[in-house]
Homo-oligomer: A and B are copies of this chain.
Amino acid sequence: MPTIYDVAKLSGLSKTTVSRVINNHSYVSEEKKNLVLKAMKELNYTPNPSARKLRGQVTTTIGVIVPRIVNPFFSYLVDSIEQVAYKNGYHVLIFQSNEDKEKELVFLNLLKTKQVDGIIMTSIENDWSIIEPFTESGPILLCNEYVNNANVPIVRLDQYKGAYIGVKHLLEKGHRKIGYCTGGLFAEEGKDKDRNQGYQKALQEAGIEPDPKWIFVNQHSIEDGKQVVKKILSMEDRPTAIFTGSDEIAGGMMIEAKECGLKIPNDLAIIGFDDQPLAQMLDPKLTTIRQPIDQMGIKAMETLIDMLNDSEVKVETFELPIELVVRSST
């Protein structure tokens, strides 16, 4: 590996001058500049990022923490973040937390040690009180998941409205017995809190009391979806429609429903969440909630870049719209 010193030697100049050329500083004559450029090319020289980082410079690297990259929601989110980042000369390090608190902290530490300039968190495992101190080491932005007491910019979707319009849609279709799947718990705080409220609000407006036995918590996978249908079938009093937390769960439910001879949407209406590619491939095509994932990623990365360039960026929350896509499963 050639170093800046090798370039200096070859071009017959000093390290300083070479450094000036690299960083586009002024006061370098055109002549010497070309000399340096030539030497750099000849040696196939690349500055050592570790050294630059150590020296306290920008790393032009940002980190994105996701729970699991195999979840299409997050892979698409990362993709859009990465596009914007690359255009602006940033690298993206992708970290999978696997919903593990320890791992999340390991990643946040990279901010402290100047491995990354900033971090976008798309999920939150630790208490905010634990995460908060890291904001002193560099900008942190919350994207998708959020906490109320965080003093950092937040880019998120209007999950409340997502659930609200979904359930509303089911009500308009004449359903009164509407079940609900959530990836979290059915609680006031924590994961999916906003969706929970949207669901309740819609029902409440229709004068309906949510039935606890139709509420399924901690649902994530295709397999979970299958189980939900089994559970429903074993009930005396069954829901006629289900609002799910993801297209995957909806897909799993469809598999099992067909297996059991249940007609969709007649016997059971299903509404998904995400509008993943598979939503239009399911049969019947899935009614679902579309989230502008790309826009969210773009807005998040752009905001982070603003924070990087100007430390006095206003702490704002951006709430992106969410929409209902009506297909044939409802």
Residues of A in contact with B (beta carbons under 8 Å apart): 1, 46-51, 53-54, 68-70, 72, 75-76, 78-79, 82, 86, 93-94, 96, 103, 109-110, 112-115, 137, 222, 248, 251-252, 254-255, 258, 277-278, 280-283
Contacts and interface: CB of A to CB of B under 8 A. Distances in A.
A110 B258 CA distance: 50
A137 B82 contact: no
B251 A278 contact: yes
How many copies of the polypeptide does the oligomer hold? 2
Contacts of A278: 251, 277-278, 281
A75 B69 contact: yes
A68 B72 contact: no
Contacts of A258: 283
8 contacts: A1-B112, A1-B113, A51-B54, A70-B79, A72-B75, A93-B93, A251-B277, A281-B282
Contacts of A94: 69, 93-94
Given A93-B93, A96-B79, A222 B277 contact: yes
Majority SS of interface residues in chain A?
helix
User: Ordered nearest first, which 9 A-B pairs have the shortest CB separation?
Assistant: A283-B283, A50-B53, A251-B281, A94-B94, A50-B54, A50-B50, A70-B75, A278-B278, A48-B113
Contacts of A114: 1, 48, 50
A62 to B, nearest CB: 12
A31 B139 CA distance: 39
A251 B278 CA distance: 8
Nearest to A278: B278
B109 A96 contact: no
Contacts of A283: 258, 282-283
B79 A113 contact: no
A59 to B, nearest CB: 8
Contact of A254 (B96, B110, B281): B281
Contacts of A109: 46
Contacts of A69: 69, 75, 78-79, 82, 94
A3 to B, nearest CB: 10
A131 to B, nearest CB: 14
Given A46-B113, A69-B79, A281-B281, 5 more contacts: A1-B112, A69-B75, A79-B96, A258-B283, A278-B281
A73 to B, nearest CB: 10
A205 to B, nearest CB: 33
